[in-house]
């Protein structure tokens, strides 16, 4: 196909050709970046949690007035919950992965270190790691003898009595890799606030925090041997038993102490769903805008294509009369669109890169991976060709006899 005649024809329609190029370029730039944002959201939504996803139930209760016997009451509750048929594990915890509010601490790796190396969340509760279903990859889990009561620890903290303070912890692989890159974390010491060392005795593969906005720190979690009666129970059971166990657990808790308020009762799947709801919504919103953008661009190409075909009816007739086949005419318009789209795409790639730089500076977004650019190009080429097909077919249908008519 000879493209020189196309260029000379386009030179007579500079403005309209430029408008098509500009439209394709803008669309390319925006769609590349928007799709990148969408995939980031999707990655986040599918993030590994490290827990037994479909097997957990979360119940939160609060006593009506402050009680003094919270630990015995908790033990009584836990024993009763364990009795429910189908329950495989129970723990009382201070927080739940992806549960929202969290307990965090600044972690240091040397005595008298001025600033914390990182901020990590702290999970409390006996049997918590086992109930959540985390996977131990090195060392050991927390044992019964490691544990201290929360109130005793607070009291010990105020008197600097190191005897009643936890001495060991289990950390995630992500946290260990950040604190001691390339070295086994087992036996290493870490510090929180005061200068009392805590020895790392175990590493779990994954355990996500209750809340985070930056994915990079999502797995900075540790489990601490502190027994806590915060009124939050995590129950593990087979997925098909969850509804039944939840109902039985609520009935049991009510029976043990009717003067309590149930604050939350949910499966962990619901917790996860709620946590990522806004991410899903944002991805949906961006997807909607992208689709609208591509539709508008396609409509523009259809419109201008039709205009050009109508304007050149006479020339098309002349070409047909001089021996050009329908196929030639069709190819002409398809090639024309391909050329315009290509110029637009090249321009659009540069713009996509620029927009990404801008977003990186202002919104701390990562760099746009190169693979998005060819993908954007292919999408726009396809849309351009699809949009121009209708007008091009109409052009091909122009009969040669048009050349003989005066208007």
Partner 1 sequence: MLGYYMLGYYIDLAWRSLRRSPGLTVLMVLAIGFGVAASMTTYSVFRAVSGDPIPWKSSQLFVPQIDAWGPSSRDSNGEPPDALTYTDAMALVHAHRAKLQSAMYRISPSLVPGQAGQHPINVSGHAVYGEFFPMLDVPFLYGSGWSADDDAHQAPVVVISGELNQKLFDGANSVGRSLSMDGKDYRVVGVMDSWNPQPRFYDLASSANFNAIGESVFIPFERGIAAGIYNSGNTNCHEPRTGPGFIGLQQSSCVWISYMALLDSSAAVSQYRQYLDGYAREQQRAGRFHWAPNNLLRDVPAVLDHQGVVPSDTRISLLVALGLLVVCLVNTVGLMLAKFLRRSGEIGVRRALGAPRRALYAQFLMEAGMIGAAGGALGLLLTGVGVMSVGWVFRPEIAALARLDWSLLGITMVLAVGVTLLAGVYPTFRAARVQPAWQLKSN
Report, in Å, the least distance between residue 194 CB and partner 1.
Answer: 6
CA dihedral (186, 188, 194, 196) in degrees, to 10, reads 80
Q: Assess contact for 44 and 272: CB atoms under 8 A.
A: no
The verdict on 277 binding partner 1 (CB under 8 A) reads yes
Residues numbered 102 to 121 that lie near partner 1 (CB under 8 A) are 114-115
Tell which residue, 393, 83, 49, has the closest CA to residue 221.
49
Question: Whole-angstrom Cα distance, residue 125 to residue 94?
Answer: 7
**Beta-sheet pairing, 56-63 with 232-237:** antiparallel
Would you say 304 or 388 has its CB closer to partner 1?
304
The verdict on 137 binding partner 1 (CB under 8 A) reads no
Residues numbered 4 to 23 that lie near partner 1 (CB under 8 A) are 15-16, 19-20, 22-23
Q: Which of 2, 363, 371, 405 binds partner 1 (CB under 8 A)?
A: 363
The verdict on 392 binding partner 1 (CB under 8 A) reads no
Q: Assess contact for 134 and 51: CB atoms under 8 A.
A: yes
CB atoms under 10 Å from CB of 135, counted, come to: 14
Alpha helices in 222-276 (DSSP H): 242-256, 268-275
The verdict on 360 binding partner 1 (CB under 8 A) reads no
φ and ψ at residue 381, rounded to 5 degrees: -60, -45
DSSP 106: E
The verdict on 299 binding partner 1 (CB under 8 A) reads yes
Q: Which of 73, 252, 265, 280 binds partner 1 (CB under 8 A)?
A: 280
Q: Assess contact for 369 and 356: CB atoms under 8 A.
A: no
Q: Which of 217, 293, 393, 402 binds partner 1 (CB under 8 A)?
A: 293
Considering only 59-67, 81-89, 120-128, 245-253, which stretch makes contact with partner 1 by CB under 8 A? 59-67
Question: Whole-angstrom Cα distance, residue 72 to residue 78?
Answer: 10
Q: DSSP assignment of 213-233, as one string?
A: S-GGGTT-EEE--EE--SSEE
Q: What is the contact mask toward partner 1 in residues 26 to 45, using x (rule: CB under 8 A)? A: xx-xx--xx--x--------
Count of chain residues binding partner 1 (CB under 8 A) = 61
The verdict on 58 binding partner 1 (CB under 8 A) reads no
The verdict on 307 binding partner 1 (CB under 8 A) reads yes
The verdict on 295 binding partner 1 (CB under 8 A) reads yes
Question: Whole-angstrom Cα distance, residue 149 to residue 250?
Answer: 25
The verdict on 288 binding partner 1 (CB under 8 A) reads yes
**Beta-sheet pairing, 136-139 with 148-149:** unpaired
Considering only 240-248, 291-299, 316-324, 326-334, which stretch makes contact with partner 1 by CB under 8 A? 291-299
Q: Assess contact for 328 and 359: CB atoms under 8 A.
A: no
Report, in Å, the least distance between residue 4 CB and partner 1.
Answer: 24
Which residue matches tokens 């090249």?
A: 346
Would you say 21 or 396 has its CB closer to partner 1?
21
Provide the binding-site residues for partner 1, judged by CB under 8 A: 15-16, 19-20, 22-23, 26-27, 29-30, 33-34, 37, 62-66, 114-115, 151, 154-155, 157-158, 193-194, 259, 261, 263, 274, 277-278, 280-282, 284-286, 288-289, 292-293, 295-297, 299-300, 302-304, 306-308, 310-311, 359, 363-365, 407
């Amino acid at each position: 196909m000879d493209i020189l005649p196309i260029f000379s024809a386009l030179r007579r329609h500079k403005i309209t050709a430029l408008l098509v190029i500009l439209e394709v370029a803008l669309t390319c730039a925006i769609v590349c970046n928007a799709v990148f944002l969408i995939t980031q959201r999707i990655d986040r939504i599918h993030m590994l949690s490290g827990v037994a996803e479909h097997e957990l139930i979360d119940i939160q209760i609060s006593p009506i007035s402050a009680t003094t016997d919270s630990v015995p009451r908790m033990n009584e509750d836990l024993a009763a919950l364990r009795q429910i048929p189908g329950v495989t594990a129970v723990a009382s915890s201070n927080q739940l992965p992806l549960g929202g509010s969290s307990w965090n601490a600044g972690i240091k790796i040397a005595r008298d270190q001025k600033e914390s190396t990182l901020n990590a969340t702290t999970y409390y509760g006996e049997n918590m790691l086992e109930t959540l279903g985390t996977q131990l990859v090195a060392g050991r889990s927390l044992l019964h003898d490691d544990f201290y009561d929360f109130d005793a620890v607070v009291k010990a903290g105020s008197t600097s009595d190191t005897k009643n303070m936890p001495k060991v912890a289990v950390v995630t692989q992500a946290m260990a890799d950040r604190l001691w890159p390339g070295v086994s974390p087992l036996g290493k010491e870490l510090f929180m606030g005061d200068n009392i060392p805590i020895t790392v005795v175990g590493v779990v593969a994954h355990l996500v925090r209750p809340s985070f906005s930056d994915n990079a720190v999502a797995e900075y979690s540790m489990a601490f041997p502190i027994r806590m009666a915060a009124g939050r129970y995590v129950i593990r059971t087979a997925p098909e038993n969850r509804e039944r166990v939840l109902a039985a657990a609520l009935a049991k808790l009510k029976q043990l102490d009717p003067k309590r308020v149930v604050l939350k009762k949910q499966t962990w799947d619901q917790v996860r769903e709620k946590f990522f709801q806004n991410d899903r919504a944002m991805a949906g919103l961006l997807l909607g805008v992208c689709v609208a953008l591509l539709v508008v661009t396609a409509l523009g190409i259809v419109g201008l294509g039709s205009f050009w075909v109508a304007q050149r009816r006479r020339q098309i007739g002349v070409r047909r009369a001089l021996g050009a086949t329908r196929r030639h005419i069709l190819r002409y318009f398809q090639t024309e669109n391909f050329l315009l789209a290509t110029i637009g795409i090249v321009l659009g790639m540069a713009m996509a890169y620029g927009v990404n730089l801008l977003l990186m500076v202002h919104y701390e977004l990562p760099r746009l991976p190169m693979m998005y650019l060819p993908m954007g190009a292919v999408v726009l080429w396809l849309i351009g060709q699809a949009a121009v097909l209708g007008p091009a077919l109409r052009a091909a249908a122009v009969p040669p006899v048009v050349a003989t008519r005066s208007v």
